[in-house]
Chains A and B, each alone.
Chain A
């Protein structure tokens, strides 16, 4: 037999050689001094390496009983370094702060408007409960100048009204929170109405909110410029932004739909062909993973593809067809759920989503967001 190679020597030392092979190596070693020397050398390396690894071993600790391992996933995150917890608290706190700030900002405008309206009864629009940045009309930024200002303000109010309606309509049809953006337009209309009154009566003019005094963020614009609905700064906690489409003259980027726990596992299983018919296109999958089932949402034109990873984890792809503008074909049932401030924590559960052609694909599964995200990248 030829000399024993390094790998075989290590397998020999590790006790991983099959009995027959082991015997052959033993026989060879008896008659080969060179291989004996190498065996000694390799044994020294092996022992040294084991010793080094032993120096980098964790402290021995008691094992928790296996029955205690069924903890909510949140528990094992709690032992993270404090800094991580601090970031989370900071992010959540910031979210609340931003929310609160916008709500507060809306208040002075509304109060001023109410006062102005009370002094001169008119069929002015009522205030919406939410408001964001206020688009000021030029008549408010400068002094009202009679009829010209009045007409401009009225035009502006009109255009803002239209924009507001468009925005609200589009948002409702996509089933996304309407608060921030629509509120924006409402506040703008409201201010414009106040300006109209201001032009009519000197008294009302005196009561107009001054930009500095009211603490409202004021934006000066040319009189004929259309109102621009802008996306609000919203707190983000690991949420992917999904562009939905254009509204008014600004591009609105809306946060992904809040994930209500989908009971997709109870949805009826269908074959691939009906799933394809439902979507109008071939359902997309993560290549390489076994498809366990196609299921359809009994309440919407939506399917779930369940796939099993090599490690046995079940991944759900929630797929629905969008129209060319990125809107859902129909209103989603669960999107009608009112948005609750207390639902902040739920934001963590929002699913990752992306578009594959006209399909909006969300991914769900018991993996880390990182893993889900990279799996979602593979979808086609």
Chain B
């Protein structure tokens, strides 16, 4: 195994898990998919492993979401266990927060969300531009809009909850 891929693994794996987690919202699945992406990288030896990994991971997460939706449809009668089992060390407050952020992220456009998640996973503007097809100059603008919308959507969601609770 080449050292460069081992280096990429060390530096990128946690970021990739983080990126995937915001897409599948299940820590185990996120890790599985990240590991699968690296396993594929070992086979394919891409020239630019970092960018390649995020593209592959994004595709896998999308397939995963479709498959999950299909399975949910198939399993409605079986009453399956919930999508994500909260881990024991999670407090109720943490779960609530995460759920709010998740809903806020859902309100972003797919492109804004992707750019934001890629940045948060440690990708540079150049890398984000290469992956999303945006001009490098547009990445900052997209990020500015995505951040503002995320904050607004989150505040709005929290307010709605307070109103609902009375």
A9 is an interface residue with CB less than 8 A from chain B: yes
A81 to B144 alpha-carbon distance, docked (Å): 37
The SS class assigned to the A binding surface is helix
Minimal Cβ-Cβ distance residue in A for B32? A76
**Cross-interface CB contact of A11 among B55, B59, B125, cutoff 8 Å:** B125
Residues of A within 8 A of B116 (CB): 49, 53
Question: In the complex the two chains form, is A59's CB within 8 Å of B143's CB?
Answer: no
Question: In the complex the two chains form, is B5's CB within 8 Å of A66's CB?
Answer: yes
**Cross-interface CB contact of A53 among B22, B42, B71, cutoff 8 Å:** B22
Most buried by B among A81, A84, A313: A81
Question: In the complex the two chains form, is A49's CB within 8 Å of B39's CB?
Answer: no
**Cross-interface CB contact of A52 among B39, B89, B154, cutoff 8 Å:** B154
A87 is an interface residue with CB less than 8 A from chain B: yes
Minimal Cβ-Cβ distance residue in B for A53? B120
Question: In the complex the two chains form, is A52's CB within 8 Å of B144's CB?
Answer: no
Q: Which of A351-380 contact B (CB under 8 A)?
A: 366, 368, 370-371
Counting residue pairs across A and B whose Cβ atoms lie within 8 Å, the total is 151
A16 to B32 alpha-carbon distance, docked (Å): 32
A311 to B54 alpha-carbon distance, docked (Å): 10
Question: In the complex the two chains form, is B125's CB within 8 Å of A76's CB?
Answer: no
**Cross-interface CB contact of A70 among B13, B39, B67, cutoff 8 Å:** B39
A8 to B139 alpha-carbon distance, docked (Å): 9
Question: In the complex the two chains form, is A313's CB within 8 Å of B44's CB?
Answer: yes
Residues of chain A at interface, number, CB under 8 A: 48
- Chain B 87-126 interface mask (CB, 8 Å, partner A; 1/0): 1010000100110011011000000000011011000110
**Cross-interface CB contact of B31 among A8, A42, A61, cutoff 8 Å:** A61
**Cross-interface CB contact of A7 among B38, B55, B75, B141, cutoff 8 Å:** B141
Question: In the complex the two chains form, is A52's CB within 8 Å of B38's CB?
Answer: no
A73 to B142 alpha-carbon distance, docked (Å): 37
Q: In the assembled complex, how far is the CB of residue A137 from the closest CB belonging to chain B, in whole angstroms?
A: 41
Residues of A within 8 A of B137 (CB): 7
- Chain B 61-94 interface mask (CB, 8 Å, partner A; 1/0): 0010011000100110010110100010100001
Question: In the complex the two chains form, is B78's CB within 8 Å of A368's CB?
Answer: no
Question: In the complex the two chains form, is B35's CB within 8 Å of A69's CB?
Answer: yes
Q: A5-B141, A7-B138, A52-B151 are in contact. Are A57 and B21 (CB under 8 A)?
A: yes
Q: A83-B78, A312-B52 are in contact. Are A59 and B27 (CB under 8 A)?
A: yes
Residues of B within 8 A of A84 (CB): 71, 75, 80
- Chain A 78-121 interface mask (CB, 8 Å, partner B; 1/0): 01011110110000000000000000000000000000000000
A48 to B5 alpha-carbon distance, docked (Å): 34
**Cross-interface CB contact of B81 among A45, A58, A81, A366, cutoff 8 Å:** A81
Q: A45-B148, A61-B31 are in contact. Are A67 and B18 (CB under 8 A)?
A: no
Q: Which of B7-53 contact A (CB under 8 A)?
A: 9-10, 13-14, 17-18, 21-22, 27-33, 35-36, 38-40, 42-44, 46, 52
B6 is an interface residue with CB less than 8 A from chain A: yes
Question: In the complex the two chains form, is B140's CB within 8 Å of A50's CB?
Answer: no
Q: In the assembled complex, how far is the CB of residue B115 from the closest CB belonging to chain A, in whole angstroms?
A: 11
A122 is an interface residue with CB less than 8 A from chain B: no
**Cross-interface CB contact of B140 among A8, A56, A64, cutoff 8 Å:** A8
Given contacts A45-B144, A53-B116, A311-B55, 5 further A-B contacts (CB under 8 A): A70-B42, A79-B32, A84-B75, A87-B75, A313-B44
* Shortest Cβ-Cβ A-B pairs, 5 listed: A7-B141, A83-B80, A11-B140, A7-B140, A49-B147
A-B contact pairs, 19 of them (CB 8 A): A7-B137, A7-B142, A9-B144, A10-B143, A10-B144, A14-B125, A48-B151, A52-B154, A57-B18, A59-B27, A63-B10, A66-B1, A81-B83, A87-B74, A87-B75, A87-B78, A310-B55, A311-B52, A371-B63
